[in-house]
């Protein structure tokens, strides 16, 4: 077979349902990420560590945690795994060899992620995705059932590690220094919180010490203990769902209705019980840090599949076509829009912009989320009417393929 040169996919070759779901997931992620942009780092996992947690703010936190926390990053991880398989399949269909391009693609994603994490925002997921994507690619040829089983097994490791750590730290002979370190991570002292607030209200150079510390901690401890297993497992599940045609809206309406119903019926009660469990224990690290987080981690997966079922039903039946078109545009520019969220939110909350860090309550943070959603849903279609790719998608493709893809849209697209 003659090998044709690999090239980026034009708009006419895309799977619309994947773009809609990717845009939906990307926007949903911001509901939780806004807390990392706007508040001290500890408040993301422990809502009692900072800010008011009563009245409307309690309601916003409960809805955000119940409906968004981990659900949309779960969807995004599933889609990333599906994208790896789809990328390789298309190159092989042209007689090409995908491995070299895939690893070049992951290398440049790693470079972008490192720059994002250490220069802009420590909540970066690109580094973890690049590393996980480099590993799970090796399993992409496995049968869907094998991919699903391996994904569940890999995902389970993160829970086992956390539960084991929690059990070990509850032993009576654990050194006091280790306990104090854990307590400081879960509920920092007033001095530590003030230092973080002061840093992020400062200019870019004053933020760096905190940003580097958080990024190093995420990459050297959180990633190997939790995120590799969590994200890698979901990527394998995404490959299985892609192979089964679930993500391309090829299954029946009844299948997606059952998926949505089962996902919410299983996930929602588990997450609700976790909320009660953590509040009943006063959000102590002994009860919540290692054990209490597991309810949402496991409940997020069926909930994410529930969302997936609803979106696929909407795609198949043509519900809200205008909104779907805008979500698809956001999804086609997911890389650009992800970085744009960082640029906009750090400009609002950090000292090089409006310096509102740690001064905006959870209910007010939602207004920022809605504004960013509106901007991206408006801007993305306008950009794609003229250009084939978002600016960062274009750059990533150029670096991956080693040549310049067409920038402006063809009449066929």
- Residue written as tokens 């090089």? 352
Cα gap 89→3, rounded to integer Å? 14
Query: Is there a domain that residue 233 lies in?
Result: yes
Position 13 scores a pLDDT of: 52
Q: Taking the CB of residue 233, how many other CB atoms lie within 10 A of it?
A: 26
Give the pLDDT band of residue 410 (cuts 50, 70, 90). low
> Are 79 and 18 contacting, i.e. CB atoms less than 8 angstroms apart?
yes
Query: Is there a domain that residue 198 lies in?
Result: yes
Position 201 scores a pLDDT of: 97
Averaged pLDDT score across all residues of the chain: 93
Position 95 scores a pLDDT of: 87
Position 171 scores a pLDDT of: 85
- Tally of structural domains, the chain: 1
Give the pLDDT band of residue 174 (cuts 50, 70, 90). confident
Contacts of 396 (CB under 8 A, 6+ apart): 105, 108, 109, 112, 335
pLDDT at 411 over 50: no
pLDDT at 150 over 70: yes
Q: Decide: helix, strand or coil at residue 387.
A: strand
Position 8 scores a pLDDT of: 53
Cα-Cα-Cα-Cα torsion 379, 380, 383, 386, nearest 10 degrees, comes to -130
Query: Is there a domain that residue 393 lies in?
Result: yes
Query: Is there a domain that residue 408 lies in?
Result: no
pLDDT tens-digit map of 177-212: 888 888 989 999 999 999 999 999 999 999 999 999
Query: Is there a domain that residue 335 lies in?
Result: yes
pLDDT tens-digit map of 233-277: 999 999 999 999 999 999 999 999 999 999 999 999 999 999 999
Query: Is there a domain that residue 28 lies in?
Result: yes
- CA–CA distance from 46 to each of 34, 40, 85 (Å)? 15, 10, 36
pLDDT tens-digit map of 62-119: 999 999 999 999 999 999 999 999 999 999 998 889 999 999 999 999 999 999 999 9
Position 206 scores a pLDDT of: 96
Give the pLDDT band of residue 1 (cuts 50, 70, 90). very low
Measured over all CA atoms, what is the biggest interatomic distance in the chain, rounded to whole angstroms? 71
pLDDT tens-digit map of 32-44: 999 999 999 999 9
Q: Is the dihedral of CA 47, 260, 133, 236 positive or negative?
A: positive
Position 413 scores a pLDDT of: 41
Cα gap 25→300, rounded to integer Å? 13
Burial of 321 (0-12, 13-18, 19+ CB in 10 A): exposed
Q: Taking the CB of residue 243, how many other CB atoms lie within 10 A of it?
A: 19
Cα gap 129→412, rounded to integer Å? 33
**212: domain range?**
11-401
pLDDT tens-digit map of 321-358: 999 999 999 999 999 999 999 999 999 999 999 999 99
Position 96 scores a pLDDT of: 87
Query: Is there a domain that residue 244 lies in?
Result: yes
Strand partners of residue 408: 387
Tokens, residue 336: 């650009």
- CA–CA distance from 195 to each of 46, 52, 163, 385 (Å)? 18, 19, 31, 46
Query: Is there a domain that residue 181 lies in?
Result: yes
pTM for the structure as a whole: 0.94
pLDDT at 403 over 70: yes
């Amino acid at each position: 077979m003659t090998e044709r040169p690999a090239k980026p996919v034009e708009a006419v070759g895309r799977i619309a349902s994947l773009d809609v779901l990717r845009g939906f997931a990307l926007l949903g992620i911001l509901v939780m990420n806004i807390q990392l942009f706007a508040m001290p780092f500890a408040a993301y996992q422990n809502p009692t560590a900072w800010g008011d947690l009563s009245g409307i703010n309690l309601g916003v936190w409960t809805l955000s945690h119940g409906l968004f926390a981990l659900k949309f990053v779960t969807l995004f991880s599933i889609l990333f795994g599906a994208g790896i398989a789809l990328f390789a399949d298309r190159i092989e269909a042209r007689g090409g060899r995908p491995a070299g391009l895939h690893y070049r693609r992951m290398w440049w994603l790693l470079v972008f992620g490192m720059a994002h994490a250490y220069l802009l925002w420590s909540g970066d997921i690109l580094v973890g995705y690049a590393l996980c994507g480099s590993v799970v690619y090796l399993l992409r040829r496995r049968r869907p059932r094998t991919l699903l089983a391996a994904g569940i097994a890999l995902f389970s490791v993160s829970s086992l590690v956390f539960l084991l750590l929690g059990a070990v730290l509850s032993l009576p002979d654990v050194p006091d220094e280790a306990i104090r370190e854990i307590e400081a991570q879960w509920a920092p002292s007033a001095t530590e919180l003030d230092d973080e607030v002061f840093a992020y209200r400062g200019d870019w150079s004053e933020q760096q010490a905190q940003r580097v510390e958080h990024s190093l901690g995420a990459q050297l401890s959180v990633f190997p203990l939790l995120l590799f297993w969590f994200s890698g497992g979901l990527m394998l599940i995404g490959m299985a769902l892609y192979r089964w045609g679930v993500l391309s809206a090829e299954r029946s309406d009844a299948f997606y209705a059952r998926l949505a119903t089962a996902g919410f019926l299983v996930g929602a009660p588990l997450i609700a019980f976790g909320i009660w469990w953590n509040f009943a224990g006063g959000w102590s690290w002994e009860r919540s840090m290692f054990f209490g987080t597991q309810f949402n981690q496991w409940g997020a997966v069926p909930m994410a599949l529930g969302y997936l079922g609803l979106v696929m039903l909407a795609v198949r039946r043509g519900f809200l076509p205008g909104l779907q078109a805008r979500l698809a545009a956001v999804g086609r520019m997911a890389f650009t829009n992800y970085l744009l969220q960082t640029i906009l939110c750090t400009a609002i909350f950090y000292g090089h912009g409006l310096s509102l860090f740690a001064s905006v309550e959870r209910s007010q943070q939602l207004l920022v989320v809605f504004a960013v959603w509106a901007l991206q849903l408006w801007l993305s279609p306008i950009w794609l009417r003229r250009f084939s790719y978002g600016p960062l998608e274009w750059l990533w493709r150029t670096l991956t393929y080693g040549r310049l893809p067409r920038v402006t849209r063809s009449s066929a697209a």
